[in-house]
A and B are shown apart, each in its own frame.
Chain A
Amino acid sequence: MRLQLIALVIAASASAEPLASLDLRSGVYQDSDRTFISTTTVAARGTIKQRLTLEARYLVDVISSASVDVITAATGTFRETRHEVEGALAFHDGTRAANASYVYSIENDWQSHTANLGFSHDLAQHDVTVGAGGTFGYNRVGRAGDPNFHRTLYAAGGMVFATFVLTRRDLLNVSYTLAYLSGYQASPYRYVYFNEASGSRGSVPETDPELRGRHALTARWNHHLFKDSALQSHLRGYADDWGVLSLTAGAEYLVGFGQFTVGAHLRGYVQQHAGFYRPVYQTAMRYMTADRELSSFIDGFGGVRAEWRRAHLGPLAELRAEAKLDGFGFWFFDFPRLQSRNGLIVELAIGASL
């Protein structure tokens, strides 16, 4: 499922905003399942009034894949481009913050409109921040090369969070996210094998339930260490009414060296498959899927990043750059078409503020 469907934009705590900023980020992804993705994002932000900022973002994904998910006897590699634009308006007055945004995304077989709203309020002399947000998305699902295949998917969600300054060195954030999806959630490209009563092998187009309720509870803890370093960790539990259960844990250790910050991070994920998922269907069932994201698997990500920031450089309030390298591996326990995949993600970013 597309994560952007349930992405929530929550207003961040107020901080001194630059007059304008421009950021460019580009990354490439390559995995052993013959999938290559190039992503480039350009984001611009400007302060239009003292407490009001406007942000615009454009993202383009170029994907080419011959993954086991997409190849059949009739179809080999596919290549497609996704464009996404976002406009956001944010307000903050030092105690309260609010944010509204709209995201439009289009690719050859998918079109989506998503609206997000968020609000937060500082309490107890800024030692506590509470907030809530909501999202609603309308997605038009198509099929490549097919003007007659139309399905819809609605996504609505909400989030509440609280952030606590526990000590001078500890910050804790706890959030709960609920998302509800209604509509076509299968892939029009995937077919699922089953054993026919005749003893032959049959197949059916993938069929997922039309409704899905998703819950996630996340805790994030930032702990300042030594003179200029921090440990940022998170733990996330997830459950949905398809029977998927998962747990995510991750940590990043960041060290500052003047204008440079370097970090190393690790993240692990374990998932129990959806209730109707089967590696092999012995008979035709009401819901049948060949989606590896609904199977049982674990994954692990590990990497390093380096960031450079220089304030007051000529006319610029700040100039910054970042490089990031991640390696990852997925291990599928009950997905016969693929036992594992691994790969690399490389990202470079540069930005400036006035």
Chain B
Amino acid sequence: MKWLLMALYFAGCQPGLNDPRDLPALDEPFFRCRVQPVIAKSCATFTCHGDGRRFYRVYARNRLRLGGDETTRNAPLSAQERAANFESAIAMIDPQNPLQSFWLLKPLELAAGGYYHRGAVIFNAGNVFHDRGDPDFQTLNDWVNGAREDPACVEPGSNQ
């Protein structure tokens, strides 16, 4: 039985099961200077993705921080926090179908084509973006669509 199982296993095991994730080549400067302010404003409150227990979490000034204490909670984001926010966001983008990613569509109202977002229910105040014309949604959409920014751009509120 063991040999039969092994034969079946080796005959049919599909390739690529342990390949690294093919992360989309999205622009870090655009994220840092344009997207980060949006998610800090709209997603990073303590009851939302500023809660360290969440699968997707966002570091922001006066919100969740990676280390430090209350005296440094309002300090500009560290390079490690900026990198973590960028990596967390990019990991949530579906490499095969970026514009259908949870990261982009969960904060969008269902009527506008968004996905169910519990945050829109528990606060009973609608979703983060009511329609696709919202300028902040456009910023996220542009980033996922490959928009680029000058690498020398300065993130608002940063110590750059």
Interface residues of A (CB under 8 A from B): 72-75, 143-149, 191, 193-194, 196-200, 202-205, 209, 211, 213, 215, 217, 235, 237-243, 245, 247, 274-276, 283-288
Contact = CB atoms under 8 A, between A and B. Distances in A.
Contacts, number: 124
29 contacts: A72-B55, A143-B115, A144-B116, A146-B115, A148-B105, A148-B110, A148-B114, A196-B83, A197-B83, A198-B87, A200-B87, A203-B92, A204-B21, A205-B94, A209-B14, A239-B8, A241-B12, A242-B14, A243-B17, A247-B1, A247-B5, A275-B17, A275-B18, A283-B20, A285-B20, A285-B21, A286-B18, A286-B20, A286-B22
A149 B116 contact: yes
B21 A284 contact: yes
A280 to B, nearest CB: 15
A202 B88 contact: yes
B66 A200 contact: yes
Given A72-B54, A146-B110, A197-B87, A237 B4 contact: yes
B13 A243 contact: yes
A148 B113 contact: yes
Interface residues of B, number: 42
A86 to B, nearest CB: 30
A240 B13 CA distance: 7
Contacts of B53: 73
A198 B21 contact: no
Contacts of B66: 200
Contacts of A149: 115-116
Contacts of A247: 1, 5
Interface of B: 1, 4-5, 8-9, 12-14, 16-23, 51, 53-56, 66, 80-81, 83-84, 87-88, 91-92, 94, 102, 105, 110, 113-116, 118-119, 121-122
Given A237-B5, A284-B21, A286-B21, A143 B116 contact: yes
Contacts of A275: 13, 17-18
A17 to B, nearest CB: 37
Given A284-B21, A285-B18, 14 more contacts: A73-B53, A74-B122, A145-B121, A196-B83, A196-B87, A198-B80, A198-B83, A199-B84, A213-B14, A239-B12, A241-B13, A242-B17, A243-B17, A285-B21
